[in-house]
């Protein structure tokens, strides 16, 4: 049976999020004056980092955890590249590798603390977030650093008619996640998230799976940080602060269950794009930028509570 339909039936939230996304996307295309390929590309380039962070966050949440350090990993990635390139010119590739390394290390620490030491993911990632933000501030106390020209030009590139950033948004999850999802890891992750005890009893290696989940989460965030560096052209130790919250909201909107064991990365990506487009629309309607915060909070609460209320109503209707 067509895997897309199977997924949609199992996770209706993904369908809803995608439908809403298509709607908003169309509205945006129709109502934006002077829409050129360039402005479209620039706009999409701004949205892609959040989709990647949300994808990683979804993986962590599916393991029955949460990763509050994603924003900080993104920031570290940005700061390492910008500060590093300022020190040694023309070795950006080296610093990109370093940024990815830092991300993987952070993910490993998170994963080990949660899986081996059995510490609550919330506090662990809160602590690592604190450490990483502090480290970023230490490396780059003031915004600055150097980003090579080819990095800054990259988001504007087109491959044929398609913006490179869109290709990246599709390729990165496709290469890093979907092979894992279809293989043993996907099953291991979801079963560990749904019921770790049962999973362990069924022979699933729960602990390594959880470590891997957090490492993937941080890896995605580190990659997002590379993109953010390309977008902004400089380093800023505060750049990632809003990403954590928005990524969690994106996951929730995209149907990832906070109690773990359910959800899809594509849902999280759709959720991220949805939230970005909502913000865009509000901005172009002239809504004060400060309302974004309030609205994100409300969206988050609504996105979680609506399915729960639906379940309550259904359960109430079933009682005879």
Partner 1 sequence: MTTNAPAPIVTRQSLADRTRQLIPLITLVLMYVATVAIAPGYFEPQQIGSLLQLSSILGVAAIGQTLVILVGGIDLSVGAVMTLSNLIAATIMAGRDSSLAAAVVTVLLIGAVIGLVNGLIIRCLGVPDLVATLATMTATMGIGLLYTKGSPKGSSAPALVSLVTTRFAGVFTGSVIVWLFLAIITIVLLKRTRYGRFIYAVGLNREASRYSAVPVNATIMSLYLTSGVTAALGGLLLTGYTGSSYLGSGDSYQMQTIAAVILGGTSMFGGRGGYGGTMIGCVITVLLVSVLRVVGILDAGQSIAYGAIILLMLILFTKSSKGKQP
Give, in order, the Cα–Cα distances in Å from 220 to each of 15, 131, 239, 255: 24, 19, 16, 19
Kindly state the smallest distance separating residue 107's Cβ from partner 1, in Å: 15
Tokens of 38: 């360039």
Distance of CA 93 to the CA centre of its chain: 23
Task: Provide the binding-site residues for partner 1, judged by CB under 8 A.
Answer: 66, 113, 117-120, 122-124, 126-138, 141, 245, 248, 252, 258-259, 288, 290-298, 300-301, 304-305, 308-309, 312
Kindly state the smallest distance separating residue 114's Cβ from partner 1, in Å: 11
The residues with which 158 forms a beta bridge, in sequence order, are 163
- Looking at the Cβ atoms of 27 and 123, the one nearer to partner 1 is 123
Kindly state the smallest distance separating residue 313's Cβ from partner 1, in Å: 13
Tokens of 72: 């900080």
- Looking at the Cβ atoms of 41 and 221, the one nearer to partner 1 is 221
- Looking at the Cβ atoms of 173 and 225, the one nearer to partner 1 is 225
All residues at 6 or more sequence positions from 48 whose CB lies less than 8 Å from its CB, including other chains: 165, 166, 168, 169, 224, 227
Q: How far apart are the first and last CA of the chain?
A: 36
- Answer positive or negative: Cα dihedral of 237, 240, 53, 204: positive
Q: Say if residues 71 and 125 touch (Cβ distance below 8 Å).
A: no
Would you say how long the chain is, in residues? 320
> Torsion angle, CA of 237/98/215/171, rounded to 10 degrees?
90
Report the candidate in 168, 216, 229 with the shortest Cα–Cα distance to residue 189: 216
Kindly state the smallest distance separating residue 294's Cβ from partner 1, in Å: 4
The residues with which 107 forms a beta bridge, in sequence order, are none
Phi first, then psi, for residue 297 (nearest 5°) are -60, -45
- Looking at the Cβ atoms of 117 and 175, the one nearer to partner 1 is 117
Kindly state the smallest distance separating residue 118's Cβ from partner 1, in Å: 7
- Looking at the Cβ atoms of 3 and 317, the one nearer to partner 1 is 317
- Looking at the Cβ atoms of 208 and 307, the one nearer to partner 1 is 307
Kindly state the smallest distance separating residue 213's Cβ from partner 1, in Å: 17
- Looking at the Cβ atoms of 180 and 258, the one nearer to partner 1 is 258
Kindly state the smallest distance separating residue 300's Cβ from partner 1, in Å: 4
Q: Rounded distance, CA 146 to CA 129, Å?
A: 24
Report the candidate in 217, 213, 221 with the shortest Cα–Cα distance to residue 76: 221
Kindly state the smallest distance separating residue 241's Cβ from partner 1, in Å: 10
Report the candidate in 180, 182, 156, 150 with the shortest Cα–Cα distance to residue 168: 156
- Looking at the Cβ atoms of 174 and 294, the one nearer to partner 1 is 294
- Looking at the Cβ atoms of 191 and 296, the one nearer to partner 1 is 296
Kindly state the smallest distance separating residue 31's Cβ from partner 1, in Å: 25
């Amino acid at each position: 049976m067509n895997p897309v339909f199977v997924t949609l039936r199992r996770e209706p939230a993904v369908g809803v999020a995608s439908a809403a996304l298509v709607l908003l996307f169309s509205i945006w295309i129709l109502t934006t004056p002077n829409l050129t390929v360039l402005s479209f590309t620039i706009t999409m380039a701004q949205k892609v980092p959040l989709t990647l962070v949300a994808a990683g966050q979804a993986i962590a949440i599916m393991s029955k955890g949460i990763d509050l350090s994603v924003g900080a990993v993104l920031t570290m990635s940005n700061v390492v590249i910008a500060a590093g390139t300022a020190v040694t010119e023309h070795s950006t590739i080296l610093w990109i590798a370093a940024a990815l390394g830092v991300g993987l290390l952070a993910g490993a620490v998170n994963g080990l603390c949660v899986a081996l030491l059995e510490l609550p993911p919330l506090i662990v990632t809160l602590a690592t977030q604190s450490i990483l933000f502090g480290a970023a501030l230490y490396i780059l106390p003031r915004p600055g650093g150097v980003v090579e020209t080819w990095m800054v030009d990259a988001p504007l590139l087109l491959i044929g008619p398609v913006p490179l950033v869109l290709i990246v948004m599709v390729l990165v999850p496709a290469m890093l996640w979907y092979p894992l999802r279809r293989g043993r890891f996907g099953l291991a992750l979801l079963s560990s998230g749904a019921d770790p005890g049962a999973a362990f009893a069924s022979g699933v290696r729960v602990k390594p799976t959880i470590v891997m989940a957090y490492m993937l989460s941080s890896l995605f965030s580190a990659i997002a940080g590379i993109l953010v560096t390309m977008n902004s052209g400089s380093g800023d130790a505060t750049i990632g602060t809003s990403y954590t919250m928005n990524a969690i909201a994106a996951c929730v909107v995209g149907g990832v269950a906070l109690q773990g064991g359910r959800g899809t990365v594509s849902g999280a990506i759709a959720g991220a794009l949805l939230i970005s487009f909502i913000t865009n629309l509000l901005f172009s309607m002239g809504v004060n930028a400060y309302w974004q915060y309030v609205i994100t909070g409300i969206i988050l609460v609504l996105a979680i509570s609506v399915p729960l209320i639906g379940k309550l109503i259904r359960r109430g209707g079933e009682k005879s």
